[in-house]
């Protein structure tokens, strides 16, 4: 209760600080950016405090979104870009797309019903991740109740297990690093070495969140290329040293999730630097950013869409596909108990994901991950074998998912398990082709 009250008191003040930072970033000469960088750090600290308090963080993102639109619009007007015919045509196209999506989201009682169900599921997951009952520190005698907290994650319905284990992975890693223990021993000594195989994917994902938060903690949009490169190398090193064979992809992907969620202004600068350091890691990065796009409160607004963000924010095609797959990854696993939600989405808004197979990849990859984590999860087969009752959904469902999907998921999952390559599901690629290639190489 005290943490909630403290964050609530700081919330309006932080909005003012962040607003000042935005304005200063627009008008202060580049050689005098120290004040802007300091204000950015203040706002970033507050953003981290809002983590776990969904209403405050959602309000923060709404304010940030509105503020960015205002600043960008003012800049367009002052620079006279707003008078350019191509600018007006693009603006008209965006408004038309937004209006169409808004109608499909809340324009009918049926659409509103599905939107409410989807948002409810999403906030349920946010709470599961942030409210996991696991300590951030080792006990005074150096112990950590890892067996108990993992057992608690799997004690009830399989749906929350995935998200809870990711939260445990983050907190266990924080405790491990806080105790000064070697990163390379995270999953090969102590209680981490005794984890069941089914926990390892999302434990690595949670570890990646902890690594990412630490690595980019002191970066600002005004950090030099050298500073960004150093932070990225630190993150890559922690992932490489700590990850068990075949699981590094789960840790790498978390950098995009963390960056876009809490440090959005760093998304493109870090993407550019990461692509020059490790192009494959950049693919995982945008997949994680896509996950963040789905969970963004702004993209829950009528007329907004994580798939629009996935097309607009990345700067190249492979990054767009990874972002779209990541958004689909989150959308599918969040709503897997109710396959009528993705069916309705494809029936009414399938145009948002048309044009490539990234949506299909996102569905398959997240079902593989969920099946590895919770082999007894009945919702996986339920979604993969679902047959839409809405006539409008039949054709798009067959196009993006289709008959035999459950068999494909199981084949790829078993093959990746066998060859220790499960971390590959955290980036866009043809997973069936990957599985076939691995089998042929035997």
The pLDDT tens digits for 45-84 are 555 554 555 554 555 554 555 445 444 544 444 445 544 5
Better pLDDT: 138 or 108: 138
Same domain, 79 and 121: no
Predicted local distance difference test score (pLDDT) of residue 203: 97
Pair 216, 260 in one domain: yes
Tally of structural domains, the chain: 2
For position 98, what pLDDT does the model report? 55
Residues 172 and 23 in one domain: no
Pair (135, 244) in one structural domain: yes
The number of angstroms, rounded, from the C-alpha of 172 to the middle of its chain's C-alpha atoms is 20
Query: Coil, strand or helix: which one is 139?
Result: coil
More confident position, 251 or 75? 251
CA distance linking residue 249 with residue 428, whole number of Å:
11
Residues 54 and 125 in one domain: no
Range in 87-96, 102-111, 186-195 the model is least confident about: 87-96
> Is 314 exposed, middle or buried, given 0-12, 13-18 or 19+ CB atoms closer than 10 A?
buried
- The whole-number pLDDT of residue 99 equals 56
Same domain flag for 56 and 132: no
Residue 240 scores a pLDDT above 60: yes
- SS3 of residue 78 by DSSP: helix
Cα gap 331→361, rounded to integer Å: 12
Residue 393's pLDDT band, with cuts at 50, 70 and 90, is: very high
Domain boundary among 34, 65, 83: 83
Cα 339 to Cα 290: distance, rounded to the nearest angstrom? 21
Three-class secondary structure of residue 138 per DSSP: coil
Q: Please give the structure tokens belonging to residue 359.
A: 């949506």
Q: Which residue has the higher pLDDT, 85 or 289?
A: 289
Q: Is the pLDDT of residue 391 over 80?
A: yes
- Mean pLDDT: which of 111-120, 241-250, 260-269 is highest? 241-250
C-alpha closest to that of 266 among 296, 318, 228: 228
Residue 106 lies in a domain: no
Token pair in block for residue 372: 């590895």
Q: What is the mean pLDDT of residues 165-183?
A: 96
**Helices and strands: H and E segment counts in the chain:** 20, 0
* Number of residues in the chain: 442
Which tokens in the block code for residue 96?
A: 């038309």
Residue of 210, 130, 215 whose CA lies nearest to 178: 210
pLDDT digits (tens, 9 = 90+) for 177-213: 999 999 999 999 999 999 999 999 999 999 999 999 9
Residue 33 lies in a domain: yes
Side-chain-facing half-sphere of 103: CA atoms under 13 Å: 5
Q: Does residue 300 form part of some domain?
A: yes
- 258 and 185 together in one domain: yes
Q: Report the chain's mean pLDDT, rounded to a whole number.
A: 83
Domain membership of residue 20 (yes or no) is yes
Distances from the Cα of 242 to the Cαs of 251, 254, 268, in angstroms?
Answer: 9, 14, 26
For residue 108, being part of any structural domain is answered with no
Does 169 score more than 80 pLDDT? Answer: yes
* Tokens 């990412």, located at residue: 212
CA distance 214 to 249: 18
The two tokens of residue 286 are 């945008």
Residue 104: predicted pLDDT: 57
Residue that wins the pLDDT comparison between 367 and 63: 367
Which domain does 326 fall in, by range? Answer: 117-440
Considering the domain architecture, whether residues 171 and 72 belong to the same structural domain is answered as no
When mean pLDDT is compared across 70-74, 257-261, 262-266, the lowest value belongs to 70-74
- Separation of alpha carbons 308 and 400, rounded Å: 18
Per the CB < 8 A criterion, the answer to whether 59 and 53 are in contact is no
**Highest-pLDDT range among 44-58, 84-98, 420-434:** 420-434
Q: Which structure tokens are listed for 134?
A: 């696991």
Percent of the chain with pLDDT over 70: 75
Can you give the pLDDT at residue 43?
Answer: 57
| Rounded average pLDDT over 263-273 | 94
Once rounded to an integer, what is the mean pLDDT over residues 253-266? Answer: 93
| 340 pLDDT above the threshold of 70 | yes
pLDDT category at 13 given cuts 50, 70, 90 is: very low
Check whether residue 338 and residue 405 sit in a common domain.
Answer: yes
Mean pLDDT, range 351-370, rounded to an integer? 96
Query: How far is it between the farthest Cα atoms of the chain?
Result: 68
Q: For residues 63 and 133, state if they share a domain.
A: no
Mean pLDDT within 250-260: 97
Distance of CA 123 to the CA centre of its chain: 14
Q: In this structure, is residue 93 part of a structural domain?
A: no
The separation between the first and the last C-alpha atoms of the chain, rounded to the nearest angstrom, is 57
Q: What's the token pair of residue 361?
A: 């990849």
pTM of the model: 0.82
Rounded-to-integer distance, Cα 190 and Cα 209, Å: 21
Which of 97-111, 128-142, 144-158, 167-181 shows the lowest per-residue confidence on average (mean pLDDT)? 97-111
Q: What is the pLDDT of residue 10?
A: 42
CA dist 39 and 109 (Å) reads 44
Domain end, chosen from 59, 83, 107, is at 83
Please indicate, yes or no, whether residues 280 and 235 belong to a single structural domain of this protein. yes
252 band by pLDDT with thresholds 50, 70 and 90: very high
In a domain, 210, yes or no: yes
Same domain, 218 and 296: yes
Average pLDDT over residues 362-377: 95
Q: Which of 66, 83, 100 is the last residue of a domain?
A: 83
**C-alpha separations of 23 from 82, 223, 263 in Å:** 20, 18, 17
Residues contacting 353, CB < 8 A, separation 6+: 307, 324, 328, 346, 359, 400
Cβ neighbors of 37 (< 8 A, separation 6 or more) are 220, 221, 222, 223
**359 domain residue, yes or no:** yes
């Amino acid at each position: 209760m005290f943490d909630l009250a403290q964050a609530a008191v700081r919330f309006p003040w932080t909005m003012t600080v962040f607003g000042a930072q935005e304005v200063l970033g627009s008008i202060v000469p580049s050689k005098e950016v120290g004040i802007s960088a300091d204000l950015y750090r203040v706002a970033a600290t507050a953003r981290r405090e809002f983590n776990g308090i969904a209403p405050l963080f959602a309000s923060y993102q709404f304010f940030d979104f509105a503020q960015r639109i205002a600043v960008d619009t003012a800049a367009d007007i002052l620079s006279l870009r707003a008078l350019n015919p191509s600018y007006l045509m693009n603006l008209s196209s965006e408004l038309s797309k937004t209006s169409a999506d808004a109608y499909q989201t809340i324009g009918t009682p049926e659409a509103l019903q599905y939107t409410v169900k989807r948002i409810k599921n999403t906030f349920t997951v946010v709470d599961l991740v942030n409210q996991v009952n696991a300590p951030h520190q080792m006990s005074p005698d150096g112990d950590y109740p890892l067996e108990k907290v993992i057992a608690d994650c799997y004690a009830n319905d399989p749906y929350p297990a995935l998200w809870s284990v990711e939260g445990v992975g983050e907190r266990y890693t924080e405790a491990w690093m806080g105790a000064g223990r070697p990163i390379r021993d995270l999953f090969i000594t102590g209680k981490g070495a005794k984890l069941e195989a089914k926990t390892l994917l999302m434990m690595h994902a949670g570890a990646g969140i902890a690594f990412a938060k630490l690595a980019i903690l002191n970066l600002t949009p005004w950090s030099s290329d050298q500073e960004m490169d150093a932070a990225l190398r630190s993150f890559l090193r922690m992932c490489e040293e700590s990850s068990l064979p075949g699981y590094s992809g789960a840790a790498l992907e978390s950098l995009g999730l963390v960056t876009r969620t809490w440090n959005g202004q760093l998304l493109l600068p870090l993407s550019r630097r990461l692509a020059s350091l490790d192009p494959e890691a950049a693919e995982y990065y945008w997949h994680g950013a896509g996950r963040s796009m789905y969970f963004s409160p702004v993209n829950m607004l009528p007329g907004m869409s994580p798939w629009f963000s996935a097309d607009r924010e990345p700067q190249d095609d492979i990054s767009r596909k990874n972002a779209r797959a990541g958004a689909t990854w989150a959308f599918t696993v969040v709503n897997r108990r109710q396959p009528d939600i993705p069916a309705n989405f494809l029936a009414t808004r399938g145009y948002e994901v048309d044009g490539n197979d990234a949506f299909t990849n996102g569905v398959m990859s997240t079902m593989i991950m969920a099946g590895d984590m919770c082999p007894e999860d009945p919702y996986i087969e339920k979604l993969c074998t679902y047959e839409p009752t809405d006539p409008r959904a039949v054709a798009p469902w067959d196009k993006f998912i289709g008959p035999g999907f459950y068999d494909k998921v199981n084949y790829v999952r078993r093959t990746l398990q066998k060859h220790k390559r499960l971390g590959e599901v955290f980036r866009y690629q043809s997973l069936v082709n990957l599985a076939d290639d691995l089998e042929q190489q035997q």
